[in-house]
Amino acid sequence: MVALARDPLVIKETRVDTIYGLLRLDGRGTRFGAVLEAPLLIMYGAKDEIVPKTPIRRFVGRLSAECRGHARLAWYGDGYHMLRDLEGPIVTADVANWVLDPAAPLPSGADRGATEAFLQRSDQLSLDTR
């Protein structure tokens, strides 16, 4: 965390128009899940306080059956917004594994039960997926 605080490339202040743009993008972006054709790795930290679960749930719920067939969902029960912080080695291993073989299970097991975690209706993030 100290290194991130000192990193000049990390945004430390966010303008209101940037947040507004992200909110507008949320509404537009969730609609595209139905038409994505490329392999996907969708990773989410259950403790993310920046990106709410609702738009992520909406996006995943709108993925077509074909897209879900080549999408890999990864749910990190102890993960925050920047997964690379506290979960860095685990997330790095998962990404490397997925790049080499998108169909293989993730080494961390974050993909086991991830669909249920992503689509869980409650905002209480109690489902442990590891």
pLDDT tens sequence across 5-30 = 788 777 777 776 766 666 665 555 55
Q: What share of the chain is helix, strand, coil (3-state, %, to 5)?
A: 45, 10, 45
pTM above 0.85, yes or no: no
**Distance in angstroms between the alpha carbons of the first and the last residue of the chain:** 25
Asked if 53 and 127 touch (Cβ cutoff 8 Å), the reply is no
12 located within any domain: no
Count how many domains the chain has.
Answer: 1
Distances (CA, A) of 108 to 12, 14, 17, 34, 84: 30, 33, 37, 27, 14
Confidence of residue 99 (pLDDT cuts 50, 70, 90): very high
Q: Which residue segment(s) compose the domain that 54 sits in? A: 40-130
100 located within any domain: yes
